[in-house]
Amino acid sequence: MQYRMPNINKVLISGHLTRDPEVRYTPAGQIVCRFGIASTRRFKPKDTDEWQERTAFITVNAWGVLAERISKTLKKGDAVYIEGELESRSWETPEGQKRSVIEIRAFKLQNLTRAEAVSLEGEEVTTDTKEETEEELPF
């Protein structure tokens, strides 16, 4: 019997928006919202008593209803908590160079900056729709 490793792709991350959300539409008319977050991790190496920080800068994409809500409520500097999955994209530059990137596809987002701390969720995405929209990403 062959053991199959389960495929789990889940991201939980918090950080601050590095830029205002950017809204675009696919050729099929589906809304997509893109923004960047900075997530900083504090740690103390074993060989020193000083705390250090490392910041990861990550691009986040949201689709549909979640994209609409994000575009109306978030701005640069806002603190957010995001649930989603990792997504990779590849393309070729006009010069013929191959490029690829790994980004977060957000399914749920909570604004931690506002006093009311609004929680935003998107609609469920079927596999067929997801694959179709990945190819149409207008960025």
For the stretch 71-93, pLDDT in tens is: 999 999 999 999 999 999 999 99
> What pLDDT score was predicted for residue 86?
97
**What pTM did the predictor assign?**
0.77
- Please report the DSSP string for 23-74 in residue order: EEE-TT--EEEEEEEEEEEEE--TT-SS-EEEEEEEEEEEEHHHHHHHHHH-
Q: Are 42 and 53 in contact (CB under 8 A)?
A: yes
Work out the pLDDT band at 4, boundaries 50, 70, 90: confident
Phi/psi at 64 (5° precision): 60, -135
Give the list of residues 6+ apart from residue 68 with CB closer than 8 angstroms, or none. 31, 33
Closest among 10, 13, 9 to 112, alpha carbons compared: 13
Q: State the architecture of 11-89+114-130 in CATH terms.
A: Beta Barrel (2.40)
11-15, 42-46, 60-64, 102-106, range with the lowest pLDDT:
42-46
Instruction: With a cut of 70, say whether residue 114 has pLDDT above it.
Output: no
Q: What mean pLDDT is reported for the chain?
A: 87
